[in-house]
Amino acid sequence: MEYFLDMPSEFANIKNAKYVLLPVPYDGTSTFQKGADKGPQAIIDASDSIELYDIQTELEAYKSGIYTDTSDYSFGSPEIMVAEVKDRVNFFLQQNKAVGLIGGEHAISIGAIQAFAEKYPNLSVLQIDAHADLRDTYNGSIYNHACVMRRAQEVAKVVQVGIRNVCMEEKQNIIPENIFYAHEICGKTKWMKKAIEQLTENVYLTIDLDGFDPSIVPATGTPLPGGLLWYETLEFLELLFKSKKVVGFDVVELCPQKENKISDVLAAVLVYKVISFMER
């Protein structure tokens, strides 16, 4: 697996690292295209192509240390996976590390959100995604990838951005002032401030890569047309980090394609961009 970024090894040491990345190669509940379990390694591999200096923040955030965890997970069931992820996140939170996850399908976020909600009682979750993920159960499990935000609603306030696919069952769990549909925000910017105003001071950021338009991220398990583009997303994230304290994050649902690495690179840049925003 090695570690995230092509940086000197002393900055990847757990003892000196301010940031911890948890690769979680789980793809147990996805239902359309499989392959998200290969996402973490693809992101780590693609990160070797990234320069260590970030132009936008004018920082070399890696110098604060980024440790890539190499824990093994049993993944015996969705329930076991959620518990394992929660325990591992808690382990690093207790060491006062800033924790981010790289997936893996979206269900890995459940355990992380639960852990952060226990540490930060007034937590809110900002979801960038194509799907609402508000089913109470799906395929016999409450920990399915289609139920992630429903589980998040049980422990935190949830604000949803970029949504463009909802089933009738989910509508009863949607809070209108907390959801920003893709077709309503396309080509506009006023929504950004409104979305951020709905968040509490401490925010967990979960980014499903299918929240982006498939023209820039084709390699996801459930791509949908009409998503966010790169610079509008960075504009939104920059405003978020200036306005709120982002305490943790994940980037999930990369489903790598052998012939096309652009999605892998975008995901890796996005992870480092989030860390750079946190560092600034």
How many residues does this entry show for the chain? 280
Give yes or no for residue 118 having a pLDDT over 80.
Answer: yes
- Segment 162-176 shows an average pLDDT of 96
Instruction: Say whether pLDDT at 160 is over 90.
Output: yes
Q: How far apart are CA 28 and CA 69, in angstroms?
A: 21
Looking at every residue in the chain, the average pLDDT score rounds to: 96
* Sequential DSSP letters for 144-156: SGGGHHHHHHTTS
In eight-state DSSP terms, residue 94 is T
**263-269-274-276 Cα dihedral, nearest 10 degrees:** 180
The CA distance from 67 to 9, in Å, is: 10
Minimal CA–CA distance to 108: which of 211, 36, 41? 36
Residues 6 or more apart whose Cβ sits within 8 Å of residue 235: 189, 192
Q: pLDDT tens digits for 132-155? A: 999 999 988 999 999 999 999 999
Average pLDDT over residues 58-83: 94
pLDDT given for residue 85 in this prediction? 97
What global pTM score does this model have?
A: 0.97
Give the contacts of 3 (CB within 8 A, at least 6 positions apart): 9, 12, 44, 66, 67, 68
